[in-house]
A and B are shown apart, each in its own frame.
Chain A
Amino acid sequence: MPANPFNNQTDYGIGIGLRVPHYRHILEKKPVVDWFEIISENFMVDGGRPLEILDKILEQYRVVQHGVSMYFGSADKPDREHLKRLRTLVKRTGTPWLSDHLCWGSVDGRYTHDLLPMPYTFAVAKHTAAKIREVRDYVEVPVCVENVSSYAEFHQSEMTEWEFLSEVVEMADCGILLDVNNIYVSSKNHSFDPYDYLNNVPHHRVGQLHIAGHTKYKKYILDTHDHPVLDPVWQLYSHAIKLCGHTATLLEWDDRIPSFDEVHHEALKATRFLGDATRPSGKAGSAAEPVAA
């Protein structure tokens, strides 16, 4: 039975990101991996090696698409060419859902290629939700939006980030890709309790979880994805599993990428938490009681 309408892929366990340095190892050794997450934009091309590799991966593995440039929070309308290419890729991969970030990153057709924080206002939430609906209706698969790590807050904001996230996903009627590392990074950068965040998002909408490493600087923490997952993030992850039930989980490791085996080993550490999680019984919002931070 599915946990909820957004977390109905309960047979998806722990996945890792499909990255170029691992292509040869994966294709030659064919390691047992539950599923791979791909960056959609890397494969929204017309031909050549990227699609050849993807097709070989698809012969043997399940793939879930994760985007980095839909920019639900940008004022611009969704780019039609982007949408067309995304839909073509969705048909190719058979992704059961796709995700992108709750952020903005383009203005007047110019792209920053970054995940920029949004002012948390009701007007922005309404605009963002409408855009998520438009994208979902076009690509015809469920959409999960991911909370980003951030380094700036705006005077304009009218609510907390988790209230904003909740507002958007309720209005869009979409899922959440909850990145617990991003929650931790932002909590340190903006001085809030990460458990307040975790406890107050709609858990029945969480369709996927992200874990990753980060880097501590003197005055802030940067979401670098170039380290193993740190203990405070594992603790948050453990709590998230208690709240959300068994949820597809993905380790992000995007820079200074070690061997495939090392990345996979790190990802599989999530088993000790995920393995304990009760398989969802179909009750929406059947989360465990929040645990104090």
Chain B
Amino acid sequence: MAEALFRPLSAKDGLQEKWSDGRTTASVAAEFVKSNSRLTPVERLEIYARSYWFRVLDCLYDDYPGVRAILGDRRFMKLATAFLAQFPSESFSLRNLGSRLPKFILDQPAFTVPQTLLVADMARFEWAQVVAFDGEARPLLTQDDILDAGPKLRVGLQPYLTVMECSYPVDEFALALKKRDAGLRGEASNALTAMPAAHKSARPPLPRAKRICVAVHRQNNILFFKRLDPEAYAILTALRAGRTLSAACASALRDSDPAIDWAARVREWFQSWQALGWFCRRSSHGRT
């Protein structure tokens, strides 16, 4: 039965006519499913197959509105179906269903050309929102922790925080979609409080390639994203990798413009990140 469910549906949203070994699906279904006066075995099995595919596709449809907007519904469904056929859920929670989608997009570019990099960036960005929504928040790093450790301090970053480098300004595109779907938001806020609903109106123009660094995080359990300078991104990435505070700063600023007062800028960044609650103690196994 599981084999019948996990195989993609036919073009008519039914079970495929042939089983994986070449027999007819109808004959295989009849071997283990009873018929009744109204439904054949394969029709009864189809109720479950449709239910499975509609459920998992609907989940990706809701969680990846940006990817969907870039590709359009038809191409998105082809991508999602191919992805789910190769990577069915391995978690008791549908929350994790799309965790491997960004890698699949890069590994299987045929589904997304010529927008593969943009789609992959958007998929990473949208997965980061899933993480930010309900990821763990660890106890904050205290001033005492910082003072006690000095320059050898290794700080953790909150598990719900994702810092990422993208080839496209996906944050701006996501905001444009959000505005399209929910009406204009306040100019002062770039909060994403909920996934946009499906919408039939015109898609905002696709963004042009432009390297950006962005953090996806939450404040008071509301999702936000925040642009980062490349040096700030490099520091945060090094901290997440386990480098000490001093080593992270040194490596991030190695080739930076000497005319800039980096000490002041780094101090400002750290004050901001500390205020946002991004720093926490590193876990015992080192992963943050």
Chains A and B bind each other: yes
* A interface residue numbers (CB < 8 A to B): 41, 44-52, 69-70, 79, 82, 106-107, 109-114, 116, 151-156, 189-191, 219-220, 222
Between-chain CB contacts (< 8 Å), 23 pairs: A44-B92, A46-B135, A46-B136, A47-B137, A49-B133, A49-B221, A51-B134, A110-B2, A110-B88, A111-B91, A112-B5, A112-B6, A112-B52, A113-B55, A114-B48, A114-B51, A116-B1, A151-B48, A152-B33, A153-B33, A155-B34, A191-B36, A219-B43
CA distance A111 to B91 in the complex (A): 7
CA distance A44 to B92 in the complex (A): 10
**B37 to A: closest C-beta gap in Å:** 7
- Give B52-68 interface residues, CB cut-off 8 Å to A: 52, 55-56
Counting contact residues on chain B (CB < 8 A from A), the size range is 35 or more
- Give B153-194 interface residues, CB cut-off 8 Å to A: 159-160
Chain A residues within 8 Å of B91, by CB: 111
**Interface: B90 (CB within 8 A):** yes
A154 x B33 contact (CB < 8 A): yes
Chain A residues within 8 Å of B132, by CB: 48
**A46-B135, A152-B48 as given contacts; A219 in contact with B38, CB under 8 Å:** yes
**B218 to A: closest C-beta gap in Å:** 6
7 nearest A-B pairs in the assembled complex, by CB-CB distance: A46-B136, A48-B134, A45-B134, A152-B44, A219-B38, A69-B92, A49-B221
B221 x A113 contact (CB < 8 A): no
Chain A residues within 8 Å of B32, by CB: 154-156
Chain A residues within 8 Å of B48, by CB: 114, 116, 151-152
CA distance A82 to B133 in the complex (A): 19
B160 x A48 contact (CB < 8 A): yes
* B interface residue numbers (CB < 8 A to A): 1-2, 5-6, 31-34, 36-39, 41, 43-45, 47-48, 51-52, 55-56, 88-95, 132-137, 159-160, 218, 221-222
CA distance A50 to B91 in the complex (A): 18
Apart from A46-B137, A48-B132, A220-B38, 16 more pairs, CB < 8 Å: A46-B136, A46-B159, A47-B135, A48-B133, A48-B160, A110-B2, A110-B89, A112-B89, A113-B52, A113-B94, A114-B51, A116-B48, A152-B33, A152-B45, A153-B33, A154-B33
B2's partner among A48, A51, A112 (CB-CB below 8 A) is A112
Chain B residues within 8 Å of A112, by CB: 2, 5-6, 52, 89
B36 x A190 contact (CB < 8 A): yes
* Nearest B residue to A51, CB-CB: B134
Chain A residues within 8 Å of B33, by CB: 152-155
| Residue in B47, B92, B93 with the greatest tally of chain A CB atoms within 10 Å | B92
A110's partner among B6, B39, B41 (CB-CB below 8 A) is B6
CA distance A220 to B95 in the complex (A): 31
